[in-house]
Amino acid sequence: MSKVMLFASGKGGVGKSTITANLAVHLARLGRSVVLVDADIGLRSLDLFLGLENRVVYDLLDAAHGRCMLSQALLSSDDLPSLRLLPAAQFARCKELDPRKLKKILARLKKENEFILIDCPAGMERGLRNVLNAGADETVLIVTPDDLCIRGAERVAALLEEKELPRPGIIVNRLDNDLIFAKEMVAARVVSDLLDRPLLGEIPEDPAVYMAQLRRRLVLDYACEAREALIRIARRLDGETVSLPEYGKKRRSFFRRHFPSPLKEVESDGQNH
């Protein structure tokens, strides 16, 4: 099994890079060989999520245009060799990425890896279209539960259909159990019904996500609800049957609502799951 998975969103700032990076790490921790492709040309970010920012020499555009070998552009961290990053170019424009060249790179990566996760540029512009034109085996749309984001996601879903890409699975991010319970926010299932696409995952609003970013760490490194949610989604991507939490169905206990637990690092058991 080897698949290219595109992670897209209708607008920026919805958590796409955070989610894609953490899913890639967990899949690698599950023993899969994974390549994370940062296709957000002009706004390289995944190197920061993985702590590889000082190691970037070549990037996706260099590899695509033959300025280096593909192997030279791929970076891996010492503690997780089964995950490699193909960083985005920082000082370039998205139109410089030729979809045919990207397609060739993806085909080569597929020969040696089980998962190729692509963090797409946000929005509907040329950057996204170029990446979509390279094709994919599966697509994922990241959405937050608000009208504007859902509207943007609808447009991306239509674009995926136009490009004859597979129907996307929906990941709803930044869900608030109590707001859903109070009917202030729509539940993840409602978002996926509105978009008429299957629900792949639910991730809660969780202060640990931003704290992890500030500390230049992964969300997965902290014992928090978002970590559990990300692991659940990674296992689903890996083919396991894992049920979703259905945030908002039940009211959280008084203590969980009023006494948030302090941020604690996950004790490494060598397995990390």
Ligand X SMILES: Nc1ncnc2c1ncn2[C@@H]1O[C@H](COP(=O)(O)OP(=O)(O)O)[C@@H](O)[C@H]1O
Query: Which positions lie near ligand X, rule CB under 6 A?
Result: 9, 12-18, 122, 173-174, 203, 205-206, 209-210, 213, 226
Of 14-22, 81-89, 125-133, 195-203, the segment contacting Mg ion by CB under 5 A is 14-22
Joined tokens for residue 84: 């490699």
Joined tokens for residue 99: 């979809």
The partner in contact with residue 144, picked from ligand X, Mg ion, none with C-beta cut-offs of 5 to 8 angstroms by kind, is none
Of these, 9, 17, 22, 173, which contacts Mg ion (CB under 5 A)? 17
CA atoms within 13 A on the CB side of 173: 24
Of 17-25, 70-78, 128-136, 163-171, the segment contacting Mg ion by CB under 5 A is 17-25
Number of shown-chain residues binding Mg ion (CB under 5 A): 2
The partner in contact with residue 192, picked from Mg ion, ligand X, none with C-beta cut-offs of 5 to 8 angstroms by kind, is none
Closest chain position to Mg ion (CB)? 17
For residues 180 and 226, which CB has a smaller minimum distance to Mg ion in the complex? 226
Instruction: Based on the shown chain and the rule CB under 5 A, indicate whether residue 173 belongs to the binding site for Mg ion.
Output: no
CB of 91 to ligand X, least distance (A): 19
Which of 156, 229, 154 lies closest to 193 in space, CA to CA? 154
The partner in contact with residue 128, picked from Mg ion, ligand X, none with C-beta cut-offs of 5 to 8 angstroms by kind, is none
Q: What angle do CA 150, 250, 242 make, to 5 degrees?
A: 70
Sign of the CA dihedral 155, 174, 187, 197? positive
Joined tokens for residue 174: 């930044």
Instruction: Based on the shown chain and the rule CB under 5 A, indicate whether residue 177 belongs to the binding site for Mg ion.
Output: no
Interior/surface letters 202-219, b for 16+ CB within 10 angstroms, e for the rest = bbbbbebbeebeeeeebb
Give the E-state strand segments of 93-220 in sequence order: 115-119, 138-143, 169-175, 199-204
Instruction: Based on the shown chain and the rule CB under 5 A, indicate whether residue 18 belongs to the binding site for Mg ion.
Output: no
For residues 16 and 236, which CB has a smaller minimum distance to Mg ion in the complex? 16
Distance CA 105, CA 90 (A): 19
Helix (H, G, I), strand (E, B) or coil at 212: helix
CB of 71 to ligand X, least distance (A): 27
Which of 33, 22, 36 lies closest to 114 in space, CA to CA? 33
The partner in contact with residue 13, picked from Mg ion, ligand X, none with C-beta cut-offs of 5 to 8 angstroms by kind, is ligand X
CB of 148 to ligand X, least distance (A): 14
CB of 100 to ligand X, least distance (A): 26
For residues 56 and 68, which CB has a smaller minimum distance to ligand X in the complex? 56
CB of 45 to Mg ion, least distance (A): 5
For residues 19 and 134, which CB has a smaller minimum distance to ligand X in the complex? 19
Distance CA 186, CA 237 (A): 24
Partner residues linked to 201 by β-bridges:
171
Joined tokens for residue 166: 């597979």
CB of 213 to ligand X, least distance (A): 4
Contact at 8 Å (CB) between 154 and 8? Answer: no
Contact footprint for Mg ion (CB under 5 A): 16-17
